[in-house]
Amino acid sequence: MIYIPNPSVGRRRLIAGAAGLLAAAPIPVVAEAASPPASGGAGQSAVIDVDRARSEPIPIAVPDLGGPDGPSAQLGHDMASVISADLARSGLFRLINQAAFIQAGAPSAGTPNFANWKPTGAQALVTGSVQILGGGQVRVEFRLWDILPQTQIQGTAYTTTQGNWRRIAHIMADVIYERLLGEKGYFDTRIVYISATGPRDRRTKRLAIMDQDSENNRLLTDGSWLVLTPRFHPTRDEIAFMSYANNRPRVYLFNLSSGRQSLLGDFAGMTFAPRFSPDGSGVVMAVANGGGSDIVAMDLGSRSPRRLTDSGSIDVSPCFSPDGSQIAFASDRGGDQQIYVMGAGGGGAKRISFGNGRYATPVWSPRGDLIAFTRYAGDTSNFAIGVMHPDGSGERILSEGWLVEGPTFAPNGRVLMFWRETRSQDARGRGFSSRLVSVDITGFNERPVETPTDASDPAWSPLGT
């Protein structure tokens, strides 16, 4: 894992280098399968279009991509590793061990010898090649095959700068995911989070960003000031977050391209808990008002604030529905903190959480059908991460723990990331930790998300930013 504590060395430069070159050129189908796709059980296709929540993962073979020379072949191996890791981590694919391959090494170009792949149990096969061209360019070709019907599902070539190779591998994994599962993937994405170091009573917190597979970690702030709750802009390379700069806790925007931070709005009191609107034109956040806090929307163009709640209580953690028509938020207006939903213009707030405990941090699924939340009783009993429908029905708990908090959805709505803390075992805080975790929205496939330091406040980027 590489730390580049220099905000100016950004991904944008890498992306800019690839601008226009990422466009995929479809490869003509090399050879139609010798036999037409068989129907019936014997010819079961790897392609499915149903929710695979609890069905068997798709067995897939991802041999190394071939290359005409040593460095190209090495890159082909590395790319296959990234693709394999992405698919395996999703829990929806079962990677066939390369040791089980009948055919050693990278398959040659053209139609694979399906007779060699069928016995491995794989239903899908990825083949391809990598060629390092002059001038730091690389050309990657890949094909996705449906083994039993012996058909090519996808054929694509990419030419890009070599430094982009990981990103191309993630894009390829997304293509595989989408073609086989019928919904968009989430591998070409990043996570912005808060990196924490030092003892609990003197924590240093920094804004950090990494790829969703924990690679390319980078610190965006130097730890001079406490920072919290970063969130991605839906289309721009920009983050909204909270900073205690100059001991004035306020919401700021962080431009990932320039590294520049700018204060959002001019409020007398604390501003916090920001989230962008789905179209990226505005931010909704909480603004301290006396002993309470209100939900305030701010248009990023005019920078004029609009107060959406004024209850005198604590209204916090606003989050738009993906169509922008509603806002979920947490409020203690009824006593204990609960989740409410109101119109995006304010007014008509309706409580939707009625389970046992307090409800916090509502986040709307990009699919629109679920709201994820943190639930807790507030004492020594466990915290929980769960989901419910926007009308409050169908509550399901996905994970529990001493402290679990702050879910964020992958852009396809299929996976949640949150953070998990372990309790201090003594008065010096030993045993305390704070780590990122991901879990499928079915509650299966929970796994740690590696970070170089303790971490919290994850926020998933949109796809392909």
Partner 1 sequence: MNIKILGALSAVALLAACSTPDATPAAPAATAAGIVPGSQEDLVANVGDRVFYDFNKSGLRADAKATLDKQAAWLAKYATNNVQIAGNCDERGTEEYNLALGNRRANAAASYLKAKGVATARMTTISYGKDRPTAQGSTEQAWAQNRNAITSVR
Given the structure tokens 């702030």, which residue do they identify? 221
Q: Compare residues 148 and 437 and give the one whose CB is closer to partner 1.
A: 437
Given the structure tokens 């030419």, which residue do they identify? 159
Q: Are residues 434 and 197 in contact, defined by beta-carbon separation less than 8 angstroms?
A: no
Distance of closest approach, residue 429 Cβ to partner 1, in angstroms = 3
Binding site for partner 1 (CB under 8 A): 199-203, 205, 226, 228-229, 247, 249, 269-270, 272-273, 286, 288, 290-293, 314, 316-317, 330, 332, 337, 360-361, 374, 376, 378-380, 402-403, 405-406, 421, 423-429, 432, 456-457
Distance of closest approach, residue 127 Cβ to partner 1, in angstroms = 47
For residue 260, give both structure tokens: 């520049």
Distance of closest approach, residue 184 Cβ to partner 1, in angstroms = 29
- Amino acid sitting at position 356: N
Sign of the four-CA dihedral 312, 250, 384, 92: positive
Q: Are residues 421 and 433 in contact, defined by beta-carbon separation less than 8 angstroms?
A: yes
Q: Compare residues 424 and 442 and give the one whose CB is closer to partner 1.
A: 424
Distance of closest approach, residue 437 Cβ to partner 1, in angstroms = 16
Q: Compare residues 266 and 426 and give the one whose CB is closer to partner 1.
A: 426
Q: Compare residues 44 and 424 and give the one whose CB is closer to partner 1.
A: 424
Q: Compare residues 237 and 395 and give the one whose CB is closer to partner 1.
A: 395
Distance of closest approach, residue 316 Cβ to partner 1, in angstroms = 5
Distance of closest approach, residue 105 Cβ to partner 1, in angstroms = 51
Distance of closest approach, residue 263 Cβ to partner 1, in angstroms = 16
Q: Are residues 46 and 55 in contact, defined by beta-carbon separation less than 8 angstroms?
A: no
Q: Compare residues 166 and 203 and give the one whose CB is closer to partner 1.
A: 203
Q: Compare residues 142 and 329 and give the one whose CB is closer to partner 1.
A: 329
Distance of closest approach, residue 418 Cβ to partner 1, in angstroms = 11
Q: Compare residues 57 and 269 and give the one whose CB is closer to partner 1.
A: 269
